[in-house]
Structure 1
Amino acid sequence: KCVLHERRQRERQGAELGDVVAFDVFVPVARAEWDTLFFFYGVVLCVGGLGFLGYLSMISELLYHQWGATYANISVGVLSAIVDNIPVMFAVLTMYPDMSSGQWLLVTLTAGVGGSLLSIGSAAGVALMGQARGQYTFFSHLKWTPAIAMGYFASIWTHMWLNSTLF
């Protein structure tokens, strides 16, 4: 214990003087939120499986060819609140629908903001629930959902108005 204390003190002194301090990779890895990392790994693995089985192409056909790009992108945003915005956007990129740049900006906007509708819809929400257990919960976030939903639809309207030439 004394040796570690002396080592840390030398590193602090060296860092204060501008010296290069060795980075120990094992300390950050030991503090990693493994349940959060496995959650994201599992979701991305599931999206890859859906693509392999052909379900993503069926969903792409339904959403982008039958509903139209605007309604599909708004639906993608709502879906990203339930699943998570990272794998939903990964799925859209895997489907690679033929869209204008305005629609690509819209799907990016809706996936990002829509992911905040529920705490499980964004990487930040999932990570925060893991770090602040009991203080930040699914239900404590749920009380803000109506305000976030108003912002969601206001941001869509603003995007369509400001970038109407891109559609």
Structure 2
Amino acid sequence: GNKKKEVQGKLAEAQKLLNTLTAKEKAALDAEQARANRSSTERVDLKDAPPASGRASAAFSAAQSQIGKPYVYGATGPSSFDCSGLTSWAYAQAGVSIPRTSEAQANAGTRIYNQSDLKVGDLVIFYGDMHHVGLYAGNGQVLHAPHTGAVVRYEAMGNMPFQFGVRI
């Protein structure tokens, strides 16, 4: 049974190596994520796009106050948010009730298909199945709760497949 012990030893060694590697990779990924979170929670140049309305402006300000809060699936604030949790919470602060999910929010107002017609505070819907939503921030930026492991932050609209905007 010496051969078996040797093989098991080699296997254990390989597993250990694999574990340290994934820990290293995970650390690298975490660092990358932290960097992305940091750079996009600082002041982004939003230019001076006018808000869609007073309500949209109030909703956008509310969302800005949540920058740096963690993304948690199903969360509707105020300590953590998912994408549509953030947008519905933000509009609620402006006294406007919109549906809870990104798919329902896609139908909550007037659709805007041309990105250049977007105004600050408009909802912006991403992906063909409309599973992601954020608030238009001006200058080609979206303010959103991206995904698990990320925080509420600004991001370039071009990083995701834009479908249309929704003016509430």
User: What TM-score results when the alignment is normalised by the length of structure 1?
Assistant: 0.28
- Give the strand-richer structure, 1 or 2: 2
Q: Which structure exhibits the higher relative contact order, with contacts defined as CA atoms closer than 8 Å and separated by 6 or more residues?
A: 2
- Give the helix-richer structure, 1 or 2: 1
